[in-house]
Amino acid sequence: MGRLTFLSPIAGLIAGAIGSGLVLLMYMLKLRRRPVLVSSTLLWKRAVRDLEGNIPWQRLSPTMLLFLHLLIVAMLALAIARPVADTDLSDGQRVALVIDTSASMNAIDGDRTLLEIAKREAGERVRGLFDSGRSPLVSVIEAGIEPRIVVGDSSERGRVLGAIEDISPSDQAGDVRGAIELLDRLQGSGVGEPSEDDASNKTLVWLFSDGGSFGSPTLPMRSGSGVLVPSYMGEGISNLGIVALSAQRDRVDTELCRVFVRVLRSDSGPIAGVVRVYEDEALIESAPIAFDAGQDSATHTFELRLVREALLRVELGGEDALATDNAAWVAVPSPDPVRVTIIAPGGIADPLLMDYLEVVARAPVRVIAPDAPIGEPDLLVYDRTDAPALPGVPSLGFDSVTPGLGERLSEQTGMRRVLSWDRQEPMLRDTGLGSVSYRRSVSYEPTATGVRTLASDQGGAIMVETTSAGVRHVRVGFALHDSDWSVQVGLPVFLAQLSEQLLPGAGGSGEVVGSNEVVRYLDEGGIERSVGPFAQIGVRTLPDGRRIGVSLLSEQESKLATREGVVIGAGDGNQSVRASGRVRVDLWRWFVGIAIVLLLIEWVWYLNKVRIAS
């Protein structure tokens, strides 16, 4: 506790002067009594002192009652003066308010959301900062998926309070650690670290959050320290949430679609629920879901007959603390198979390549010679043949050269391995490229306009991608029969993921979009654009006419776990104590309480005196 100050000292002095004056006046005034004739004054001697005490301007005799009355007046006068205890924050102290805006902060506690509780607490602390007579520099940081500084180093009370009120909820997973790192970079951007005795340069951080997204009770920070101000302190919040959703059409019976749903319950959540599947507003199917003892998740698979493409909404019945995770969407592609054409020397393609592509396309593939008409395929595959130009449909090439994209080597290289590849590229995930051995036969120019390197070896790019008129094309610099990739599980995985990227829905898999994801589309000019992440869940129509459903699908947010103790930065003990308490503590209630206790003591004292006198 810091020094004691008074916010309204003049009012307290006036109240004390008036109150003490009235008390003294009451003790000095002589009461007006009616004269009564009595036979003797022997029995009235005890009233003499009372009569003398009411003679005007008589010298007061100090009594315990007078002392108690004056002390009660003093306590009430101090309460009116609004006493507060300030911390040892110095003028110019930097204070940062980090407010978590992740989806879990939309959970309802009583009649308010956790974010509303956090904003109210942040507002009270800001008012306390400025009411303390200091001149703090306050920053407000919104800890969403992309941390944002709402206001930085402001000494204007109204601006800071307005910034807090402007923070809006989101249906995304937050990034509190990223917000702390952003703050650390900005506040610690000077040369070296703040010295131990330069308290004003150290940032005091208050993190307003439910605390459930932290893996550890500490968050590193070099330029300051602080603590968590929990938005929820109860026993637990009851919630059920959809955390995983997928859809896959059957490879043989393409009208059959299996929809997989996984539901997570919070620690205090219900042990059963109902899952419903809708197409637009029409209910297709529903099923109960129950949680086994000791388990926090349950799954269910729906088998639906869908004769056309559809945007399905999976929804949990009932109400709980968090409504955001009660619905999720999946876009199911058309049951029509993908038309794949392979161009190979003499019309004879690699048999393993054919088999894998037929599984992906859910239909037989067409194999033609280089001089045959290609027809109207959805996907064109060049197997050991060159393309005179980039086709108007998505294409894939093994040991294939396209003018302006690469050139054929005079002779094959020895056995090589992939040294590096883009691990963030969806079509290359879990493809086992690091274990593939091959003989290179094509050299690519990754510096050409619009060409992106996907994988490289010691000779340069071995796999590249380019886009022409909004159509994507991928080329691989070796033939499958010159490598061991065709006998590894990574090749069918690569072909399936490539078809999904080049032709969304080609493999019969439904498209699920999370609120933290980015979706790509082609504009009217054939240029690839992107949209996202999405602040709110729901159905969106992209500029290319495609309908998608944005869902939360986050175990971290649906679990609604809470934490009460999180320490930010190393921080010394004084800083931690200072951060965990309020900047200004109102003490007037204590003084009023003391006055009430003194009144009770005065009442007991008076009753005891009357009893003795009688």
Per-residue pLDDT reduced to its tens digit, 279-302: 989 999 999 999 988 888 999 999
pLDDT value of residue 332: 93
Q: Which residues of 73-111 are buried (b: 16+ CB within 10 A; e: fewer)?
A: bbbbbbbbbbbbbbbebeeebbbbbbbbbbbbbbbbbee
| Residue with token string 């955001």 | 324
Length of the chain: 614
pLDDT value of residue 330: 96
Q: How many CB atoms sit inside 10 A of residue 7's CB?
A: 16
pLDDT value of residue 580: 44
Percent of the chain with pLDDT over 70: 85
Q: Which domains does the chain have, with CATH numbers?
A: 4-86+589-613 (no CATH), 94-107+127-234+562-571 (3.40.50.410), 247-333+544-558 (2.60.40.10), 340-502 (3.40.50.880)
> What distance in Å separates the CA atoms of residue 367 and residue 375, rounded to the nearest whole number?
11
> What distance in Å separates the CA atoms of residue 242 and residue 552, rounded to the nearest whole number?
8
> What distance in Å separates the CA atoms of residue 533 and residue 494, rounded to the nearest whole number?
26
Residue 323, judged by CB atoms within 10 A of its CB (0-12, 13-18, 19+), counts as middle
- Tell me the C-alpha to C-alpha distance, in Å, between residue 426 and each of 422, 492, 497: 9, 14, 7
Selection from 563, 552, 553, 515 nearest residue 267 by Cα? 563
**Average pLDDT of the segment spanning 557-574:** 71
Residue 528 pLDDT class (50, 70, 90 cuts): confident
Q: What is the pLDDT of residues 9-49, one digit of tens each?
A: 888 889 888 888 888 877 766 555 567 777 766 666 655 55
pTM, two decimals, is 0.66
Residue 579 pLDDT class (50, 70, 90 cuts): very low
Alpha-carbon torsion, ordered 401, 406, 407, 409, to 10 deg = -100
Helix, strand and coil percent figures for the chain, each rounded to 5: 30, 30, 40
Beta strands 567-568 and 218-219, pairing class? parallel
Calculate helix-pair angle for 490-502, 351-361, nearest 10 degrees: 50
> What distance in Å separates the CA atoms of residue 514 and residue 554, rounded to the nearest whole number?
9
Residue 262, judged by CB atoms within 10 A of its CB (0-12, 13-18, 19+), counts as middle
- Tell me the C-alpha to C-alpha distance, in Å, between residue 285 and each of 217, 223, 302, 304, 575: 43, 55, 8, 8, 57
Q: What is the DSSP string of 27-47?
A: HHSPPP------S-SGGGGGG
Selection from 335, 342, 334 nearest residue 375 by Cα? 342
Q: What is the DSSP string of 265-322?
A: E-TTS-SEEEEEEEETTEEEEEEEEE--TT-SEEEEEEEEE-SS-EEEEEEE-S--S-
Name beta bridge partners: 265. Answer: 240
In 156-238 the beta strands, taken as DSSP E runs, fall at 203-209, 218-219, 224-230
Cβ contact 263:322 at 8 Å: no
**Average pLDDT of the segment spanning 489-512:** 86
Which helix or strand (DSSP H or E) is residue 143 part of? Answer: strand 137-143
Inform me whether the pLDDT recorded for 244 exceeds 90. yes
Inform me whether the pLDDT recorded for 538 exceeds 90. yes
Residue 161 pLDDT class (50, 70, 90 cuts): very high
Selection from 97, 130, 77, 104 nearest residue 208 by Cα? 97
Inform me whether the pLDDT recorded for 583 exceeds 70. no
DSSP character for 486? G
Tell me how many degrees the CA angle 219-225-231 measures, rounded to the nearest 5: 65
Cβ contact 342:387 at 8 Å: no
**Average pLDDT of the segment spanning 417-436:** 89
DSSP character for 194? P
> What distance in Å separates the CA atoms of residue 150 and residue 140, rounded to the nearest whole number?
5
Q: What is the pLDDT of residues 352-411, one digit of tens each?
A: 999 999 888 878 899 999 999 988 899 999 999 999 899 989 999 999 988 878 788 888
Inform me whether the pLDDT recorded for 54 exceeds 70. no
Residue 132 pLDDT class (50, 70, 90 cuts): low
Cβ contact 375:406 at 8 Å: no
Cβ contact 91:135 at 8 Å: yes
Q: What is the pLDDT of residues 319-359, one digit of tens each?
A: 888 999 999 999 998 888 888 999 999 999 999 999 999 88
**Average pLDDT of the segment spanning 517-536:** 84
